[in-house]
């Protein structure tokens, strides 16, 4: 599914997330989690809310132009099967159709925190660090 640029079913993803969070809490006692790349669509969001019963404190959105993302993916040279132009274009299409509405949803709830990710990694890291420091 990943190689085809498609999204893994929500039930599987949410159960894996809940299991990982529960195990982490048992080990560390930490009840704060940063979940990368989730939710990606409306179904993800609804299943997460119903199964995990967790409302996020905020949703972090790394905003970056498509051309810059494509350049970065193609130059990361990690040998991933899904790092090719066809799959990248499919991912962008899925993002626009499925994930952007979720971004709008959290923005309407006042929960969206947007970071300009077109900057250098150092600048992005600093913006994220400042954001997390102000949210705690």
pLDDT at 81: 77
Helix, strand or coil, per DSSP, at residue 5: coil
pLDDT in tens, 82-135: 778 888 888 889 899 999 999 999 999 999 999 999 999 999 999 999 999 988
Domain assignment of residue 50, yes or no: yes
- Give the domain range for residue 125: 10-135
Q: What is the CATH number of the domain that holds 122?
A: 3.40.50.300
pLDDT at 2: 66
Q: Name the phi and psi angles at 74, rounded to 5.
A: -70, -20
Domain assignment of residue 1, yes or no: no
Measure the CA angle with vertex 73, ends 13 and 90; round to 5°. 60
Instruction: Indicate the pTM of the whole model.
Output: 0.79
Domain assignment of residue 65, yes or no: yes
How many independent structural domains does the chain possess? 1
Domain assignment of residue 2, yes or no: no
Domain assignment of residue 5, yes or no: no
More confident of the two residues 60 and 13: 60
pLDDT in tens, 20-34: 999 999 999 988 888
Domain assignment of residue 3, yes or no: no
């Amino acid at each position: 599914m990943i190689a085809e640029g498609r999204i893994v079913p929500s039930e599987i993803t949410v159960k894996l997330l809940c299991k990982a969070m529960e195990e982490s809490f048992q080990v560390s006692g930490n009840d704060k989690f940063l979940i990368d790349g989730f939710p990606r669509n409306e179904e993800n969001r609804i299943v997460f809310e119903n199964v995990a019963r967790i409302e996020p404190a905020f949703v972090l959105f790394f905003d970056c132009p498509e051309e810059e993302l494509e350049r970065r993916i193609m130059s990361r040279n990690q040998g991933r099967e899904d790092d090719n132009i066809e799959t990248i274009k499919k991912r962008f299409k899925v993002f626009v159709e499925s994930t952007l509405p979720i971004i709008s949803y959290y923005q309407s709830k006042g929960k969206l925190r947007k970071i300009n990710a077109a900057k250098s990694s150092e600048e992005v890291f600093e913006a994220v660090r400042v954001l997390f420091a102000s949210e705690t």
